[in-house]
Structure 1
Amino acid sequence: MTVSVLVVDDSGFFRKRLTEILTSSGQIRVVGVAANGREGVELAESLRPDVITMDYEMPIMDGISAVREIMKKHPVPVLMFSSLTYEGARITLDALEAGAVDFLPKNFEEIARDGSQLQKILIDRVLDVARSKPAGRTPPPPRAAAPSPSRPVATKVPVSSRPAASARQAAQPMPEAPPRRASRKGPARHYAVVGIGTSTGGPVALQRVLTALPASFPSPIVLVQHMPASFTPAFAERLNKLCNIEVRQAEDGDILRPGLALLAPGGKQMMVENRSGKPRIRILPGDERLNYRPCVDVTFGSLARAYPGKTLGVVLTGMGSDGREGCRMMKQSGSPIWSQDEKSSVIYGMPMAVAKAGLSDEVLSLDEIGPRLIEGVC
């Protein structure tokens, strides 16, 4: 099946180059181009493409405003092009919050070493986005917990991104045990750490889960979101402003404590160590041999070693199968695993891999996870 794409960008050169690359695949057809956001909104309505690629800085109407209009009128997966700077991260997070599914750096040199790699990354990403669910179709529910006076209530929900390394093949169904929705387990129990891993669709999922938690949440939380190094500080700051718990980017030597969520820094690996009963974060350089930096498997594997049988692993929406082997290690140590269900996932890759491997103790919708954490932990 051919994927139809609308390209929206104020640069004629970029529109032409992107069109050439996408159409070279034979799987993608560019059905229209627009030079500004207003034209993009109009063509989205008339052409009804499968995917829209969107620049964020354009005349007449910017990309974020265009995404909001498109999500109101005819939700469709949108792939944003952005800069890998702090300001670019902030703008891109606004675009994801408005309803975009994913993003790529607009500077091609930042995502590929050569032309063939670039072509593969762009084509794979568009095909991946075509299979996703646009955020405009699933508005966020009311918050489950009363807000802290010092923290504002979350009113908007972003959607996520993943690293440039392709994992499309890993997202394919595996001939393993079918996912199951487990019954609720007994009384609340204390977990030494709650680990949450996610990728595409992760910011929307993490925001929805974390804003449901009270400031008195009794367990520390470690978060692994596939994101570039320039994006994780801005994302942690955004979550911290919206949540009752404290959220910040992890640093080497950080001590885990209740009510604190630590986000793995982009481009590196985060591990948890437990020496003499003092849990600490270790931040290590990103291993070029690993597709994901940060990697859920690395963090979850360290949790299995540091706190066998005393952690809770949660895998949310995302491309590929990162997290499955880390969950296997946690499960073997006696720790429970939860995974997000297919219906509420933007991309049902990572949670599907966990569920199909028979590792999920509970398969939950996104809206159930926050309240379930409160019910099962507090």
Structure 2
Amino acid sequence: MAVKVLVVDDSSFFRRRVSEIINADPRLEVVGNAVNGKEAVEMTKRLQPDVITMDIEMPVMDGITAVREIMQAAPTPILMFSSLTHEGAKATLDALDAGALDFLPKKFEDIARNREEAVGLLQKRVNELSRKRVFMRRPLRTAASAQAAASATGRDTARPLSSARPAATATRQPVRTAPAKTPVRFKASGKKYQLVAIGTSTGGPVALQKVLTKLPANFPYPIVLIQHMPATFTAAFASRLNNLCKIGVKEAEDGDVLKPGMAYLAPGGKQMMVDGRAGSSRLRILDGGDRMNYKPCVDVTFGSAAKVYHDKVLSMVLTGMGADGREGARMLKSNGSTVWAQDEESCVVYGMPQAVAKAGISTEDLPLDRIAERILVEVGLA
């Protein structure tokens, strides 16, 4: 069955252009077109699409407001289209905060060398996001459904609901339910670190925000961040994180000295390398390179960190499409450093973390909402 897509844009030309690209993929089918956010909300409830492509600036109801309403009424994977400007970056980050999963620039030539590449990229993004719909619309597991599942499998999987009272039997005895599963308690490995490195792509802005906002101002190590993102977006994203976090966050500049309690975001369109020696290292910001698929590239930064810090790097690969980070993580591990990966269910796209996990490089696969906790335990702050 084809992936159902709802296209939302106030421009008839852009709606037609996007619809043609999507319908050209036999795995995809445009089931509706909306001209503003209000129509998008109504059509989402009625058509139940698997993925929505959404413009930001529209009459009647803008895209950000529409994303919020859709996420409350009928959570659906949403791909935003935005302009590659500073204001466009801020609006796109607001849309991601509201619940959108990914974004692409409206000018396809900004992300691809030719039409064929642009078409393939849009189709791939929509197909990848459609896989997340299963997790986004997973029904709540009630006590009754859990008991039915237990009967079918022969295992007791029931969990009490905080808002529901357990039913009584004919003899007025309460129904016994299994206790809630206790979260795994993390233990520090005892390793010593001097740098934290995090690489991510699709879904990364929200993931990084969730992790970094939980770190204290006295975090003992510098942090390098590699997020696949256009050049006009990284400064706005770093500023946003700096305003939200207790640690400092900045867009990395050539010559930056790595300091504890500071996070350095690789600038879009460039490559970020760690240079010098452990304890007194600096960042080098280099040209992106015509042959490089990713600018910035996780492999480049991870590989340079491995050469400088050897076994003193705590690294992790978060949500993202593709396999960037796998070879850099392999270098880190071969030097004795620690590599973690985000788990499948909490990823927007389980590509980059899967590549690291499948290669046997990561030692732990962690849900996004517990990564900060795990970091704090590992570095001795929890």
TM-score interval for Structure 1 and Structure 2 normalised by the shorter chain: 0.7 to 0.9
Matched residues, percent identical?
61
Deviations 1:210-246 (A, max 9, x none): 1111000101100000100000000000000110000
Partner amino acid, structure 2, of 1:265: P
After TM superposition, give the deviation of residue 16 of structure 1 in Å: 1.4
Matches of 1:67 and 1:195, distance apart in 2: 31
The match for 1:284 among 277, 286, 291 is: 286
Tell me what 2:88 maps to. 88
Deviation at 1:110, TM superposition (A): 2.1
* Structure 2 match to 1:66: 66
Q: Which one of the candidate residues 234, 237, 250 is aligned to 1:235?
A: 237
Q: Indicate conservation of the 8 Å contact 1:237/1:248, yes or no.
A: yes
Question: Displacement, 1:189?
Answer: 4.3
Matched, 1:126 2:126: yes
Q: Is the 8 A contact 2:194 2:279 kept in 1?
A: no
User: In structure 1, what is the equivalent of residue 103 of structure 2?
Assistant: 103
Q: Is the 8 A contact 1:22 1:28 kept in 2?
A: yes
**3-state secondary structure, aligned to 1:290:** coil
Q: Cα distance, 1:127 vs. partner?
A: 1.3
* 2:97 match: secondary structure: helix
Range with greater deviation from structure 2 (212-221 or 10-19): 10-19
1:119 deviates by 1.9
1:86 CA displacement: 0.5
Greater radius of gyration (CA):
2
Encode CA deviations 1:68-94: one digit per residue, 9 max, x unaligned: 000000011111110000000000000
Match of 1:226 in 2: 228
Alignment of 1:306-345 (within 5 A): 306-345=308-347
- Cα offset, 1:116, TM superposition: 2.3
Q: Counterpart of 2:236 in structure 1: which amino acid? A: A
Equivalent AA in structure 1 for residue 128 of structure 2: D
Question: Which secondary structure state, in structure 1, belongs to the residue aligned with residue 320 of structure 2?
Answer: coil
Does the Cα contact within 8 Å between 2:326 and 2:356 map onto a contact in 1? yes
User: Which ranges of structure 2 fall in alignment gaps of 5 or more residues?
Assistant: 139-183
What TM-score do the two structures reach when normalised by structure 1? 0.85
For the pair 1:75 / 2:53, whether they are aligned, the reply is no
Q: Name the Cα RMSD after superposition.
A: 1.9
Q: CA deviation at 1:136?
A: 6.6
Give the direction of change, closer, same or farther, for the CA distance of 1:109–1:248 in structure 2 (3 Å limit).
same
SS in 1 for 2:274: strand
> 1:184 Cα deviation (Å)?
4.6
SS in 2 for 1:95: helix
1:250 equivalent to 2:239? Answer no
Residue 22 of structure 2 corresponds to which residue in structure 1?
22
Asked if structure 1 preserves the Cα contact closer than 8 Å seen for 2:187 and 2:377, the reply is no
Contact 2:55 2:63 in 1 (8 A): yes
Deviations 1:112-151 (A, max 9, x none): 343323322222221122123599779xxxxxxxxxxxxx
Distance 1:184 1:76 in 2: 33
Cα distance in structure 2, aligned partners of 1:134 and 1:295: 30
Alignment of 1:129-208 (within 5 A): 129-132=129-132, 184-186=186-188, 188-208=190-210
SS in 1 for 2:193: coil
Q: Quick check: 1:77–1:134 contact (8 Å CA) kept in 2? A: no
Distance 1:134 1:235, change over 3 A: farther
Describe the superposition over 1:294-324 as per-residue Cα deviations: whole angstroms up to 9, x where unpaired: 1111100001100111111111111111111
Equivalent-residue separation in structure 1 for 2:77 and 2:366 (angstroms): 24
User: 1-side partners of 2:352 and 2:187: how far apart?
Assistant: 23
Amino acid at match of 1:255: V
**1:370–1:137 Cα change, 3 Å:** farther
Residue of structure 1 in register with 2:179 after alignment: none
Matched residues, number: 335
Paired position in structure 2 for 1:114: 114
The corresponding residue for 2:369 is 367
For the 8 Å contact 2:135–2:345, the answer to whether it is kept is: no
Measure, in 1, the Cα distance between the counterparts of 2:312 and 2:230. 30
Matched, 1:10 2:38: no
